[in-house]
């Protein structure tokens, strides 16, 4: 199972991954139309302090606590990918309460959204990784169970 | 092949079913469901009244869930007795279901203290089930004056849910503050103020002395005129089935970390159980949905012959009212320190180099990082906790820990 992994020593903190994520999930053809002048709500975010930066997105855990904790039964794991059904989500943020990676944040409407590896948008593979200028995030197989 | 019976059809039951099926495809599963519904998301009944969901989207699992998992559900049936001698569950209609092992996932029942004149109130409701919400919905009008007894999570969620449909809402509670089981006075005051700003009135440190039709006379002497009454005083674990056969019970059915009760072949999970709380270091009823699932799943795996233990359950809550989000976790044991900002209050409780619990109001981003510190009992000296209190993030961990978190399969 391919996942997004972080090489934090190579991260420039440029936030391009956040823009590419927001664009890929907007369904809009051109990046400027999708993002210009808007506050973005990406599913990956850059964290850090004065010394280090790194991008955090869903780990698609082997044993995802968010799936087991969702009070609406809106999150499930299918073929190794943790997905959310936004129709069922009521925005209670219980998944934010339990995710040990701090990987989840709500969308603009207060309803949760999450990284689904761009597998069901027009990009077909993680746009964050594709646009990363320095391989600070990579999409690859590193073993481990599904 | 084993025959499993599950008493109750809520979240703990689903966890149990999925736990059993993760081990065995052949074992038989029978679910005894007092409620005449397929499993639904109980916490969503207030969101239903608010118009944020509907009965279809409230399904906790897909419509074909029972079929896919080969589960025989007896809707509208109720277990009355566990006959351990014959290995049978006796239903209230007298019929019997044989079992090799059974999981009691019977949840809790509303606790209604004796109140004088309660029977004179025509429109009175509980707020625990989908049917409660559906019948409440039928009587509410734009003019309704609603009195809610109980300023806990359920009473306040009800208030938020019906807010847009009624004329006025008054909430009373014997406690001196709202959400008294999870918030201290200062945090509760912030939440109360926010609720009041949204039109909810409170009568705290007060209780109903007497009902007379549409009037409640309070102990303080105040009088409240109302059209609809909602009782949300509290809940009690359904322990009767175990108590009656001499099983160990306390506030809940006492279980070990495998979810086994003191009675051989009988497991318990969810709101009816009293399992291990890692933040307390002792058993306690953890009446929250994530716990119900995790306990149920643990029971199911063990029932089907697998081997697993649930050792890191903790109390935790994420609740929002009218846009204000509140999160809490753990016990509030030890030294308190806090961070404040505009509309933000975060309180942390530290003892013996461990975060025992926290309360967050207004800023809840990435709170799961704090929850994990509580759940995993992470030594705070290993992280930059001062930075963590200001903003939850993974920069507070060592590069080594981060490499594991973000560089490996987890
Ligand atoms: C309004 C409301 C809001 C809530 N909000 C939250 C929230 O935001 N977050 C959170 O974590 N939790 C919340 N909760 C709590 C959460 O719903 C419970 O923790 C969870 O539903 C417990 O699941 P359970 O399976 O243990 O019990 P239940 O869901 O109560 O299911 C038990 C079932 O067993 C049935 N039963 C009982 N006795 C028998 C018998 N003898 N035979 C057959 N069946 C029987 C009952 O009828 C019931 O349907 C909320 C609860 C309510 C009422």
Question: Tens digit of pLDDT for each residue in B284-308?
Answer: 999 999 999 999 999 999 999 999 9
Gap between the Cα atoms of B279 and B282, Å rounded: 8
Contacts of B96 (CB under 8 A, 6+ apart): B83, B86, B88, B89, B90
Q: Which of A52, A59, A97 sits opposite B367 (nearest CB)?
A: A97
Judged by CB atoms within 8 Å, which residues 277-316 of B form the interface with A? 289-290, 293-294, 297, 316
- Average pLDDT of chain B is 97
Q: Give percent of chain B with pLDDT exceeding 70.
A: 100
- Which helix or strand (DSSP H or E) is residue A62 part of? none
Q: Which class would CATH give B3-44+51-108+236-303?
A: alpha beta
Q: B399, A99: Cβ pair inside 8 Å?
A: no
Start-end ranges of CATH 3.30.390.30 in chain B? 323-407
pLDDT in tens, B48-67: 999 999 999 999 999 999 99
Q: How far apart are CA B144 and CA B136, in angstroms?
A: 11
What is the per-residue pLDDT for B43? 98
Q: pLDDT of B336-395, one tens digit each?
A: 999 999 999 999 999 999 999 999 999 999 999 999 999 999 999 999 999 999 999 999
Helix or strand run (H / E) with residue B383: none
**Is the CB of B34 inside a 6 Å radius of any atom of ligand 1?**
yes
Is B203's pLDDT higher than 90?
Answer: yes
pLDDT, residue A50, reads: 87
Confidence of residue B408 (pLDDT cuts 50, 70, 90): confident
pLDDT at A93: 98
Of residues B310, B257, B300, B302, the one with CA closest to residue B21: B300
**3 state SS of B73:** strand
ipTM above 0.95 for this complex:
yes
pTM over 0.95: yes
Q: What's the confidence (pLDDT) of residue A144?
A: 61
For chain A, domains (ranges, CATH) are 1-57+115-146 (3.30.70.20), 61-101 (3.30.70.20)
Euclidean distance between CA atoms B307 and B262, whole angstroms:
18
- Does the CA dihedral B282-B288-B291-B295 come out positive or negative? positive
Count the residues in chain B. 410
pLDDT digits (tens, 9 = 90+) for B69-121: 999 999 999 999 999 999 999 999 999 999 999 999 999 999 999 999 999 99
Look up residue B40 and give its two tokens: 């639904």
How far does the centroid of ligand 1 lie from the alpha carbon of residue B234, in Å?
13
What local confidence, expressed as pLDDT, does residue A1 receive? 86
State yes or no: pLDDT of B23 exceeds 60: yes
Q: Percentage of chain B surpassing pLDDT 90? A: 99
Residue-level pLDDT, tens digit, chain A, 146 residues:
899 999 999 999 999 999 999 999 999 999 999 999 999 999 999 999 889 999 999 999 999 999 999 999 999 999 999 999 999 999 999 999 999 999 999 999 999 999 999 999 999 999 999 999 999 999 999 876 54
Give B58's contacts in chain A (Cβ within 8 Å): 72
pLDDT higher than threshold 60 for residue B37: yes
Tell me the average pLDDT across B185-194.
Answer: 97
CATH match for B323-407 among 3.90.1170.50, 1.10.238.10, 3.30.390.30, 3.40.50.150: 3.30.390.30
Q: Which of B291, B266, B236, B289 is nearest to B109 (CA)?
A: B236
A111: tokens are 């309803």
b or e along B13-40 (b: 16 or more beta carbons within 10 Å of the residue's beta carbon)?
bbbbbbbbbebbeebbbbbbbbbeebbb
For chain B, residues classed under CATH 3.50.50.60 are 3-44+51-108+236-303, 118-233
Mean pLDDT, residues B313-329 = 97
Is domain B118-233 annotated with CATH 3.50.50.60?
A: yes
Residues in B 370-389 with any Cβ partner in A closer than 8 A: 371-372, 375-376, 387
């Amino acid at each position: 199972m391919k996942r997004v992994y972080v090489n934090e020593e190579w991260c420039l903190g440029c936030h391009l991954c956040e823009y590419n994520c927001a664009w890929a999930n907007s369904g809009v053809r051109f990046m400027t139309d999708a993002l210009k002048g808007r506050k973005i709500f990406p599913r990956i975010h850059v964290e850090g302090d004065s010394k280090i930066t790194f991008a955090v997105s869903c780990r698609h855990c082997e044993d995802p606590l968010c799936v087991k904790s969702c009070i609406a039964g809106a999150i499930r794991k299918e073929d190794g990918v943790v997905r959310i059904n936004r129709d069922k989500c009521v925005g209670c943020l219980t998944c934010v309460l339990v995710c040990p990676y701090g990987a989840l944040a709500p969308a603009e409407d207060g309803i949760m959204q999450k990284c689904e590896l761009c597998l069901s948008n027009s990009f077909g593979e993680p746009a964050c990784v594709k646009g990363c200028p320095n391989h600070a995030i990579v999409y690859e197989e590193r073993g481990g169970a599904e | 092949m084993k025959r499993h019976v599950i008493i109750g059809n809520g979240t703990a039951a689903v966890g149990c079913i999925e736990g059993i099926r993760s081990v065995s495809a052949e074992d038989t599963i029978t679910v005894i469901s007092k409620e005449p519904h397929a499993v639904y998301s109980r916490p969503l009944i207030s969101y239903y009244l608010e118009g944020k969901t509907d009965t279809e989207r409230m399904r906790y699992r897909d419509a074909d869930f029972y079929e896919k998992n080969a589960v025989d559900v007896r809707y509208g049936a109720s277990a009355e007795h566990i006959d351990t001698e014959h290995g049978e569950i006796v239903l209230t209609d007298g019929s019997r279901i044989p079992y090799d092992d059974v999981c009691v996932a019977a949840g809790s029942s509303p606790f209604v203290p004796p109140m004088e004149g309660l029977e004179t109130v025509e429109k009175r409701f509980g707020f625990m089930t989908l049917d409660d919400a559906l019948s409440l919905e039928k009587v509410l009008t734009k003019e309704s004056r609603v009195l809610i007894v109980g300023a806990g999570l359920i009473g306040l969620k009800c208030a938020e849910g019906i807010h847009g449909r009624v004329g006025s809402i008054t909430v009373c509670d014997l406690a001196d503050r709202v959400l008294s089981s999870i918030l201290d006075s200062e945090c509760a005051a912030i939440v109360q103020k926010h609720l009041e700003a949204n039109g909810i009135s409170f009568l705290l440190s007060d209780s109903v002395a007497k009902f007379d039709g549409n009037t409640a006379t309070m102990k303080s002497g105040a009088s409240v005129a109302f059209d609809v009454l909602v009782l949300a005083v509290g809940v009690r674990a359904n322990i009767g089935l175990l108590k009656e056969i001499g099983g160990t019970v306390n506030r809940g059915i006492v279980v070990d970390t495998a979810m086994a009760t003191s009675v051989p072949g009988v497991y318990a999970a969810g709101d009816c159980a009293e399992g291990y709380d890692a933040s307390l270091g002792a058993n306690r009823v953890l009446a929250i949905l994530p716990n119900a699932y995790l306990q149920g799943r643990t029971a199911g795996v063990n029932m089907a012959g697998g081997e697993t233990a649930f050792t890191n359950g903790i109390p935790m809550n994420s609740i929002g009212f009218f846009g204000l989000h509140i999160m809490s976790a753990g016990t509030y044991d030890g030294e308190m320190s806090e961070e404040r900002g505009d509309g933000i209050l975060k309180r942390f409780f530290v003892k013996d180099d461990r975060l025992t619990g926290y309360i967050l109001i207004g800023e809840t981003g990435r709170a799961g990082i704090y929850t994990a510190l509580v759940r995993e009992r992470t030594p705070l000296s290993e992280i930059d906790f001062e930075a963590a209190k200001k903003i939850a993030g993974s920069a507070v961990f060592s590069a080594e820990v981060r490499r594991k978190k973000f560089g490996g399969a987890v």
